[in-house]
Amino acid sequence: MKLQNHFEQQRPISSGFGPRTTAKEILVGQNLTGKIAIVTGGYSGLGLAAARALATAGATVIVPARTPEKAQAALNGIPGVELEQLDLIDPVSIDEFASRFLDSGRPLHILINAAGIMAAPLARDSRGVESHLAVNHLGHFQLVSKLWPALKKAGGARIVSVSSRALQLSAFHFEDPNFNTREYDKWLAYAQSKTANALFAVAMDMRGEAHRVRAFSVHPGTILTDLARHLTDDELRAMGALNELGERGFTEYNDEIKTIEEGAATLIWCAVHPQLDGKGGVYCENGDIAVITDKPHTPGVFEWAVNPADAERLWKLSEKLTGNKFTI
C-alpha cells in the first residue's frame, strides 16, 4: 500500500452524525441479535456505555475484568452480558481468557478495546514494559493475536481501539518506548500509547482486510470517567472538571467535552455501522472519519499516528515485546 493512498482514506465521509450524537442514536434500526462482542473495560465509563448499547441492540457481550465480582454491580440489569476474568498487564491472564473464549467455539464479531490507564505514575510490568504501553497497547495486541481465529470465524468482524486526541502530543518513541533513558513523563507515556492504538488499527486492518476483519481507532472526546483517577484536583480544575465545591464533573459541554453516552457513539459507529462497510484502518471522531491535521489541540489526527511505515515498525516491535508472532 502506498503511503499517499492510505492517507487519502483518512477523510470524512459526511456520515450525518456529530459530536452530540449518542450511542443509542447510532444503533437506531439495527438488530445485533446473534452477534458476539467483547468489550474490555466494559464495566465502567465508555466501555460500560458501549457494552450496554450493544447488549440493548441484541448482541451477546462478554466483559472481561480483573475482578469480575466488583464489575458485576455495574452490569446488573443489562441483558446478554457475560462476565469474565482478564488482567491486561498480565500476559498469562490474557492467554487464559482467550483460550476460554476459543474453547467455546463461538465467533467474535466485535472487539472493542476500551480498557486503559491514563497519566499514571511510572510502573512496569513483569517484562519491564512501561505500564501505559503494556496495558493500553501491548495487552490488546496480544489479546487480538490470541482471538484471531474467532475473529476470522465471524465472516465479518470489526476491531475498535480507543485512542485519544492526546496522540497529538507524541509520536511513538521507537528508540526508548519504555522510558529507560529519557525522563518519565506521565502525559507523554499516555500519548505514546494512544498513538500506538491508532498505528495498531492501521497495521491490523492491512492484515485483516482479506479475512473481512476491519480495524479502527477512535477519539471519543474528553469525558470524565474513572480513567481520570490519577489526576489531581488541580489538574481537574485546570481542565474545567472540578467545581467550586470540589466535585468532579464538567459543567459545560461542547464539541470536544462530552457526556459518556456521546463519547461512546463513535465507538459504536466504528463497531457496527454499515457506513463503514468496506473501510478500515482509519482514525475516527465525532461519528465520522477524522481529517489529517498538523495543528495541536484541534480535531483530526497527526500523520505520525496513521503512517503505515510506522505501523509496521510498531507491529514488529509489539511481536518482539510480547513474544507473540501474529499468524494471520
Q: Which residues are catalytic?
A: 190
Residue type, 66: R
Distance CA 209, CA 178 (A): 31
**Long-range contacts of the stretch 75-79 (C-beta < 8 A, 24+):** 75/42, 75/43, 75/48, 75/51, 78/51, 78/52, 79/55
Angle at 304 between CA 302 and CA 307, to 5 degrees: 115
Rg of the chain in Å (alpha carbons): 18
The cell numbers describing 126, all together, are 513483569
Distance CA 324, CA 150 (A): 17
Q: Which residue from 308, 258, 311 is spatially nearest to 287, judged by alpha carbons?
A: 258
